[in-house]
Each structure stands twice: as structure tokens, then as C-alpha cells.
Amino acid sequence: MKKKSSIGINELYQKYPEEADKLLWGRESNKNSRRGFLKKGALMFMGSILGGKVVFGEHMPANLIPAGIFDLQDGPIQGKHPGLLVLNDRPVNAETPAHLLDDFQTPADVLFVRNNGIPPQNINPQSWTLSIEGESVNQKKTYTLEELKSRFQHYSYHLTLECGGNGRSEFNPPAKGNQWTTGAVGCPKWTGVRLKDVLNDVGIKSDAVYIGYYGKDTHLSGDPDKVVISRGVPISKAMEDESLIAWAINDEELPLMNGNPLRLVFGGWPASTSGKWLSKIVVRNKVHDGPKMTGYSYRVPCKPVAPGAKVPEEEMCIIESMPVKSLITYPKSGGMLKLGRELQIRGKAWAGDLLVKKLQVSIDFGKTWQDAKLNPPPNRLSWQSWEAKVKFPEKGYFEVWAKATDSMGISQPMIVPGWNPRGYLNNACHRIAIRVT
């Protein structure tokens, strides 16, 4: 059975109406009764939640959810925006519709969630520790969260976090896994300490080639000894200025679902490298080999293959920097516009370790392109905002397409690129529908 705390109020009422009433109203009711027999105390308690006396409370049927409760809810996922699209609820996976990514700094409650296991319960930041160990450290060292915050300088960076499988739903033949459309991406401001400062404080050996992370989430099987996911990055990426051990998003503590109280953030690389609920980092003298680091996980064929091809394991390569990509975040797809009026368009563009140097839009399915105004990023590895104005020549159905080009001159493809067995790295152009009337 599902944990009740992990389901929404509607589902709770459908599955456990009596218990739900008890939870909400503070005492038991009878399925067919009204709430009239509830004690005054329960009604007053409910009133305090709803912001006023429930005037005709005694007439309200039992097992009916007060409508005002919905306004108080933060959606089906703890601490997250109700507009997220839930792809899976065990483990929790939810993506962000493009129009909710219009802020330059992605709000914490809007950032997508990709869990491979079950987030830890009852987190106590006071007793949280991070250990640095592995064959390539001189000596294991453990820091409390407080020590990390007090002993090292704090840095904030806008860092783009994108799941390697973002866009997977478009591959054909289909790839198994979360069927992300466009929303497994975001770019909040992250605050923490530099991973390199901590690694230098511990002292790493000259044979170090990779780091790997371990988090406090638990395996879906319930086996406490089974590691959910343990990935990492080469030591060169770990030692970059922007590689953070972070405890804050947009100056607030991390949402539980995004790794509270501590996580890694490697901007521009598959977000699977950014370990959540971080409790241990290992410094390795070889490529890290934790769960989901090997085999077909987060790897693509080293050389392009035909769609549906069987690829031997040894011909799969680890994904590093993510490819150039963009989103149209305003307007929302499906809007209408009066003929003759100009349409304001806005969006974001990012390119892994690189800069985006050009953003173009098209209203004729890519036949012609018009340059958008592209803004510089506030720091390396941040996405960039862009805006454009377009005019439509006549009434009818149009699509607006956006195409970004990186500093190496590589552009987004207009259709789904490079099929691969697990459906990673789809950076095809984003498009929205507009009806001109």
C-alpha cells in the first residue's frame, strides 16, 4: 500500500474516506452522515484552517472535501507547484510545463523532480554530515552541514539542471523510462560551497580521476543496503569554480524533492550527476562505477546508430556536456492572436558547457528564420533569456519554432536527432501553436 503522506487529497478521499475525514476534521465521521454530529471543536479547528468559521458546517456531508482546502494545497507533490506534470508517483517524477519556466530564475517549487528512489524521511539538518572518502583521498574527512557553511566561502551561481532523458517521449522506436516532453529542465540560483574547496581541504591524491556521490534516498525495493543511484563526474569537472555543494535555491533551503538539505550541482551536465540528499563523495582513481554509471545508463552510442539498432555495451559512451537547446516560455502554446497584431515571444536557451551565441525563430516551419534578441548569461553554465517579436501574414494556424546555436556553431536540429537505446539528448527545436483570427 502507498504511504498516505505521498498521495494527494483527492486520492486520499477516494481510497480512505473515513481516515481522510478523521485527518481533516480531527474525528471520525460516518460515511452516510452529515458532519452535524462532529463536536464544535472539530468545526472550529476546520474554521481555523479555512480562515473563518464554517458557517453551515453542520449541513456539510461527510466525506466531502471543503473546496477551500484546494487553495491551500501545494499540488500532489510535497512542496511543489500544482501545475507540474506528474509522470510517475513512485518514484516521484514530474516535469515543468514550458510556460512555467518564464522566470529567469526558476522558482524552487516549479523545478522538475526526478527521483530514482524514495526521498529520506525526517531530515535533521543539525545532524546531517558529508564524508569525503575513496581511494584517492589522503584521509577520510567528515563535515557537518554547519561546518561546511562556516568553514568555506559561499558562492551563488545560476546553473542549468537538465535531465539527460529530457525529450525522451519523442524517440521512435520509443525508449523505456520517464516519458519527459520538454520540462525536465530549470535554472535556479544555487548557493553553496565549491566542491573544489572542500576536496582541496581534504587533500586528494594525484591519481584522482573521478568523483562519485552517495545520497540518503532509499531503494524502491525497501532494501536499506541497496544504493539507488551513485554517479559522478571527472575530476576536471569537479574542480571547476561553478561545481557546487549546494544547500539553497534562490536563497531558500532546497525543497525536499530537490535534495534537501544538501546536493551537488554540475551545471550543463546531465542532472543525474547532481546527487541529491548528499551524504558521501568518493574520490576515485578510475571512472566511478556506482549504480547507473555503467552499462546503458546515461550513455549514448559513441558513434551514431540507426533507430532501433542493438548497440554492444562497449560501444556506449558516458554523456558529459549537454547539447544546445531552447524553450519558448511565453506565450503558452495554443494561444490566439488578432491578425495585424505583433506577438511578443520569450524563452530560454542553454548549451551545456558552452555559450549560446544565436537564437532564431521561425513561423514558416523553418523555411526562414529571424534573429531574436539573446541576452548574455549572468555566469558560466546558466541559461540565457531571449525575446522576439513576430507578425503573421494572414489568418490561420501557425507554429512558432525556436532554434539556438552554440559558440561552436552547432544548432538544434528541427526533428528528433540521434536515436539511442535509452532515449537521451533529444534537443530538437521547441515549437508552440498560435491561431491567428
Ligand X SMILES: Nc1nc2c(c(=O)[nH]1)N[C@H]1C(S)=C(S)[C@@H](COP(=O)(O)O)O[C@H]1N2
User: Interface residues for ligand X in 107-166 (CB under 6 A)?
Assistant: 111-117, 161, 163
> Is residue 350 near ligand X by the rule CB under 6 A?
no
Q: Which is nearer to ligand X, 215 or 421 (CB)?
A: 215
Q: Which is nearer to ligand X, 57 or 119 (CB)?
A: 119
Q: Which is nearer to Mo ion, 12 or 425 (CB)?
A: 425
Give DSSP secondary structure letters for 205-273: -TT--EEEEEES-B-TT--TTS-S---EEEHHHHTSTT-EEEEEETTEEPPGGGTTT-EEE-TTSBGGG
Buried b / exposed e across 166-199, counting CB within 10 Å, b at 16+? Answer: bbbbbbeeebebbbbbbbbbbbbbbbbbbbbbbb
Position with the least CB separation from ligand X: 215
> Is residue 263 near Mo ion by the rule CB under 5 A?
no
Contacts by 296-300, CB closer than 8 A, 24 or more apart: 296/421, 296/422, 297/422, 298/164, 298/231, 298/270, 298/272, 298/422, 298/424, 299/422, 299/424, 300/418, 300/420, 300/422, 300/424, 300/425
Tell the smallest beta-carbon distance from residue 94 to ligand X (Å): 9
Tell the smallest beta-carbon distance from residue 246 to ligand X (Å): 10
> Is residue 217 near ligand X by the rule CB under 6 A?
yes
> Is residue 114 near Mo ion by the rule CB under 5 A?
yes
Measure the CA–CA gap between 166 and 101, rounded to whole angstroms: 15
Out of ligand X, Mo ion, none, which partner does residue 113 contact, by CB within 5 to 8 A per kind? ligand X
Stretch that binds ligand X, among 17-25, 65-73, 274-282, 371-379 (CB under 6 A): 274-282
> Is residue 248 near ligand X by the rule CB under 6 A?
no
User: Interface residues for ligand X in 370-409 (CB under 6 A)?
Assistant: none
Tell the smallest beta-carbon distance from residue 374 to Mo ion (Å): 27
- CA distances to 32, 34, 72, 191 from 61, rounded to whole Å, are 8, 4, 21, 48
Among 183, 188, 192, 215, binds ligand X (CB under 6 A): 215
Measure the CA–CA gap between 259 and 248, rounded to whole angstroms: 10
Tell the smallest beta-carbon distance from residue 213 to Mo ion (Å): 14
Segments of 319-383 assigned E as strands = 325-330, 335-337, 343-350, 356-362, 370-371, 373-374
> Is residue 272 near Mo ion by the rule CB under 5 A?
yes
> Is residue 229 near ligand X by the rule CB under 6 A?
yes
> Is residue 299 near Mo ion by the rule CB under 5 A?
no
User: Interface residues for Mo ion in 146-165 (CB under 5 A)?
Assistant: 163
| Interacting residues with ligand X (CB under 6 A) | 111-117, 161, 163, 215, 217, 228-229, 258-259, 271-272, 274-277
| Interacting residues with Mo ion (CB under 5 A) | 114, 163, 272
